[in-house]
Amino acid sequence: MTDEQVLIPRHVAVIMDGNGRWAVERGLDREEGHRAGRHAARRFMRAAQARDIEAVSLYAFSTENWARPTPEVDALMELIETALLVELQELCRHGVRLKVSGRRWELPAPLQRALSNAEEATAANDDMILNLCVNYGGQVEITDAAKEIARLVAAGELQLDDIGPDMFGSYLYVPDLPPVDLLIRPGGDLRVSNFMLWQIAYAEFYPMTEYWPDFQPEHLDAAIAEYSRRQRRFGGLALDD
């Protein structure tokens, strides 16, 4: 690959971390950090689409986030719902299709309705996919898929020999997404935090020290540039090994 060539990942996933710490360091309520994080998500989406990225996955709320203080959880639920309502026209204007990963049936009813309405309104869009991960956990997703496959086997609708990686992947929350190529984590931590464990099997990990509210398009460019420099072996050998 020459210096002029830039390899664009098909699917970029982001652990949107550091909102609370960003706010605390500025003497603000943690909720203000989450609001700032919403604006960062908009900047990221615009930058990703301008760079012809096919799909993005954003970690908005994990299955473990319910353990946070109730006021913060309530504020996050309201923020996600508001963002869906406010951003829906922009998603449609830019041809972005919304998909949702997670146990949505455990979410507050108004948020469930907002998610379903946004999915329906954007269903015909085909310029880019936004996979919004809400009440999501990678271990729970794999467990839910395994339960459904076990139910089908018990009912005689599947045989054990039918089960393989491709078939198993078809029972994930959003099975038609390409595998994650690039996983970005702001905030300085070096862990995947139970995010898309199946889909990131061979993703390139790009940590950032900056908090998510400080995200700018040049951060995405830096991540893509680093991604382009890496050799993806997928368990094999590179040509020069």
**Which amino acids are annotated catalytic?**
17, 65
Edge-to-edge strand ranges of the sheet holding 204-207: 96-101, 128-136, 55-62, 11-15, 182-185, 204-207
Closest to 127 measured CA to CA, from 98, 93, 96: 96
Please state the separation of Cα 66 from the chain's center in Å: 18
Angle among Cα 36, 41, 44 to the nearest 5 degrees reads 130
Using the structure block, give the residue that is written with the tokens 């996933």.
Answer: 13
Angle among Cα 68, 194, 163 to the nearest 5 degrees reads 135
Distance CA 20, CA 31 (A): 7
Number of H helices, E strands in the chain: 7, 6
Cβ distance 61 to 137 under 8 Å? Answer: no
Distance CA 237, CA 102 (A): 35
Closest to 78 measured CA to CA, from 43, 48, 47, 108: 108
Cβ distance 188 to 197 under 8 Å? Answer: no
Cβ distance 232 to 202 under 8 Å? Answer: yes
